[in-house]
A and B are shown apart, each in its own frame.
Chain A
Amino acid sequence: MDERWRLFVDLDEPPSAAEQMDRDECLLEEVLDGAPPALRIYRWRAPALTLGRFQPDDHVDHDACDALGVEVARRPTGGRALLHGADLTYAVALTRPSDVRDSVEALYAHLARALIDGLARLGVRAEVASHDGDPGPVCFASALGSDLRVGSRKVCGSAQVHRGPAVLQHGSVLLDRLDIDEADLMLFEDEMARTTARGRLNDATVTLSELGAPTDAERVAAALIDAFGDVLGADFGPVGARLRPRRERLTST
């Protein structure tokens, strides 16, 4: 049976990276307070490096971030550093469905069904990644069961935070690549370590552009929205209103 969901599509005039994280966390708090589930899809106003909730700040080369115009923000979710800017980011806030087994992995698998379906609508055959070892400081340099891969390369990384029965999962679909990557923005022991990290990152990831899939943000967003509707029964309301940017200010100040 379909369930009423809230939809926020923020593709134009994105706010600061910190505000993006505030908005996502706000959705989580609202769900915890009894609001319907929410899907938010957004882009970034500038390259932004987000860090996992507990990731040490001293991994970050703040001078390099400043010099390259990269905002730095901390996610409410777990995981490691992720560079945004050529991706489309999604946030899902919901109460754990009663028919989903009570584990982190099961919830990732539940939401992955919609993400995989959305990517399939773009001609991309993705599947859930298996654990491939120590994640290190950079999110996309390794794959976990929370991530989606095409072949052996990661195309979508996700992370969660749980508060009581409410969960926020957000993640990033790689549309294309920027001129810089996480290896330019993190601190390493020496240049060889940086080069190794960059190579590992490039080898471990693939973008929609490289897969020959559409990279237009509105089209990718529409595919994900349709998939959440069809696979998870999310009822976002009248079709014509779906992609209109919502100016509704969330409660965070």
Chain B
Amino acid sequence: MEYPEELKYTKEHEWVRVDGDRAVMGITDYAQDALGDIVYVDLPEVGTEVTAEQSFCEVESTKSVSEIYAPVSGEVAEVNETLQDAPQKINDAPYGDGWLCTIRMTDAAEVDRLLDASAYQQLL
């Protein structure tokens, strides 16, 4: 499995790529493998306020619904609408086309508290 060095990770198996005041996020390769074939994503609406470590959307896989947690606090700026028709992108490319959303961060310092690739892999 892959855990790109340039990303930050949460203990709940989300990843973050910081771009200015925005954080692109998704779920890790480990998470998509553990969930199995993803068949539906209940994406948040753009503008939704999210709080770090709080659940803010859900995915359904193999007759199982699982929560996804916000890695950082802020406002949902963009969601990956293509997942509505092709949720399997999360399985196929969790760090690429399977990204979930972009969060406009309210506290960029929260990123410093996330795990680097090495620390995340030690959790697994």
Instruction: Assess whether B65 is interfacial by the CB under 8 Å rule.
Output: yes
Mark each residue of chain B from 57 to 91: 1 if its CB lies under 8 Å from any CB of chain A, else 0.
01011111111000000000000000000000000
B27: shortest Cβ distance to chain A, in Å? 13
Interface residues of B in 8-57 (CB under 8 A from A): 30, 33-36, 40, 42, 55
Interchain Cβ contacts within 8 Å, total number: 61
**Which A residues touch B35, using CB under 8 A?**
103-104
**Which A residues touch B34, using CB under 8 A?**
102-104
Query: How far is B107's CA from A165's CA once the two chains are assembled, in angstroms?
Result: 27
Secondary structure type dominating chain B contacts: strand
What would 16 more interface pairs be, CB under 8 Å, given A105-B62, A164-B67?
A78-B62, A78-B63, A78-B65, A79-B63, A80-B63, A103-B33, A103-B36, A145-B36, A146-B62, A158-B63, A160-B64, A160-B65, A162-B64, A162-B65, A163-B55, A163-B67
Residue of B33, B42, B65, B67 near A77 (CB, 8 A) is B65
Instruction: Assess whether A161 is interfacial by the CB under 8 Å rule.
Output: yes
B123: shortest Cβ distance to chain A, in Å? 10
Secondary structure type dominating chain A contacts: loop
Q: Are A161 and B65 in contact (CB under 8 A)?
A: yes
Q: Which residue of chain B is the closest to A160 with respect to CB atoms?
A: B64
**Which B residues touch A164, using CB under 8 A?**
67
Instruction: Assess whether A138 is interfacial by the CB under 8 Å rule.
Output: no
Q: Are A76 and B36 in contact (CB under 8 A)?
A: no
- With an 8 Å Cβ cutoff, the count of chain A residues facing the other chain is 23
Q: Are A144 and B67 in contact (CB under 8 A)?
A: no
Instruction: Assess whether A159 is interfacial by the CB under 8 Å rule.
Output: yes
Q: Are B62 and A54 in contact (CB under 8 A)?
A: no
Query: How far is B62's CA from A160's CA once the two chains are assembled, in angstroms?
Result: 9
Instruction: Assess whether A53 is interfacial by the CB under 8 Å rule.
Output: yes
**Which A residues touch B62, using CB under 8 A?**
78, 104-105, 144-146
Q: Are B64 and A77 in contact (CB under 8 A)?
A: yes
**Which A residues touch B65, using CB under 8 A?**
53-54, 76-78, 160-162
Query: How far is B61's CA from A160's CA once the two chains are assembled, in angstroms?
Result: 10
**Which B residues touch A159, using CB under 8 A?**
63-64
With A103-B33, A104-B35, A105-B36 as known contacts, state yes or no: A54 contacts B66, CB within 8 Å.
Answer: no
**Which B residues touch A76, using CB under 8 A?**
65
Q: List 7 A-B contacts (CB under 8 A).
A: A53-B65, A105-B62, A145-B62, A160-B63, A160-B64, A160-B65, A162-B65
